Amino acid sequence: MAKHVKRAYLYRFYPTEEQATALSRTFGCVRKVYNLALHARSEAWTLRRERVGYNATSAMLTAWKKTPELAYLKEVSSVPLQQALRHLNAAFIAFWNKHAGYPRFKSRKKSRASAEYTRAAFRWRNGELTLAKMAEPLHIVWSRPLPDGAEPTTVTVSRDSAGRWFVSLLVETAAQTLPPATGAVGIDAGLDHLVALSTGEKVANPRHGRRDMDRLARAQRALARKTKGSANRAKAARRVARIHARIADRRRDVLHKLSTRLVRENQTLVIEDLAVRNMVKNHRLARAISDAAWRKFRTMLEYKAAWYGRNLVVVDRWYPSSKLCSACGVLAGELPLDVRAWTCVGCGTRHDRDVNAAKNLLAAGRAVTVCGDDVRPQQGFSPLRRSSAKQETQPVRVGIPSLREGRTSRDRRTRQRSYPPGAEGARFELAQGGP
């Protein structure tokens, strides 16, 4: 039986003036309902220790529409409003499970303007999409076709800060598993190069943000000179947003092409579990790390490996891949970031820092993908003390392989751990169940 997966196809579209007005009104109503429900749930828990779920907020929405102040909520489709309540409920569930912080109120200026339509709120006919309470279909630029016979189950309309309109069509299609490949590759993310592979190949870092830094700085200075609330300031803000959008689009394009190539060429891909949230706290490297978009690259590898039947192995972040000799296994001493090449004291092999790390990651990944492996965390090195195990679900997280002698006491120092953020307000007590 063929495996089915859900995939979202993103397209740009150009609304008419009437459609743009209706969608902007819908975005505002979605934001208003989300904020009202968040306030109601927080207030109920703070004052009365009462838990309010989705069903209760849905009943509140019906009552809000009957009030004179919120009667305008009836002018838009009710489906995006209900979806906003479901998204809020999902945000609370993520908070209770300690996967995210406490839900925040949506801002008109900073939050993403979007609305989600389920199957009952749009019509899909002959390749044309018509949303609820609209007479004409959307003018979509079909940059690529949908899979044969696929029909969207959910439609999400959004507008970015640069004024561009996008529609995302969620469809369910059969998984396109690629033929089995024989290759395996270790991938080490970096800043001098975007990634270094265990094969010795290095992919250049385009540094899109640095290339447009001067242009962005001029646009931001022009924005700062404009009077707040003026039309010229709004135009200047759109120019800044267009530069940011250009940078993000080019970065995403490079990451998509690289991740797709690696998934197609290799059956097993091994990466390191980087704590990007902690690493960007280094203000000297934060801009460069954000420009490299390591987390985005890993996300692409994860879902593409799941789509095409590849194996993605994630090596523990405490694994000393850079300081471990890939030839003899001796662990080097102190190795600052400015040292890009070093010589092993055990065998005399000259190593490129990044390529050597990629080779060690590949070796660690292969160790746990073989049943009955003998991989164990290094004694006294990792505070996690996790042993490797063969897992069926991807990605596989592995511990630290045993190393040969040669490390010093300074190598036993631990790194800062990353924990999920807690609630921003102390009044919301997770231990008692949450709002």
Cite the active site residues. Answer: 188, 272, 354
Of 187, 428, 407, the closest CA to residue 298 belongs to: 187
Residue linked to tokens 């002959």: 126
What distance in Å separates the CA atoms of residue 321 and residue 324, rounded to the nearest whole number?
Answer: 6
Cβ-contact 182, 285 below 8 angstroms:
no
CA 381 to chain centre: 30
Q: At what angle do helices 231-265 and 294-308 cross, to 10 degrees?
A: 50
What distance in Å separates the CA atoms of residue 303 and residue 274, rounded to the nearest whole number?
Answer: 18
State whether residue 331 is helix, strand or coil.
strand
List phi, psi (to 5°) of 29.
-65, -40
| Helical (H) or strand (E) element with 195 | strand 193-197
223: CB partners within 8 A, 6+ apart: 233, 236, 237, 239, 240
Tell me how far CA of residue 298 lies from CA of 92, 209, 292, 309, in angstroms. 26, 19, 11, 16
69: CB partners within 8 A, 6+ apart: none
Tell me how far CA of residue 421 lies from CA of 40, 101, 225, in angstroms. 23, 5, 37
What distance in Å separates the CA atoms of residue 29 and residue 76, rounded to the nearest whole number?
Answer: 8
Tell me how far CA of residue 262 lies from CA of 258, 290, 311, 337, 417, in angstroms. 6, 22, 12, 26, 29
State whether residue 193 is helix, strand or coil.
strand
What single DSSP character describes residue 180?
P
Q: At what angle do helices 78-96 and 17-48 cross, to 10 degrees?
A: 40
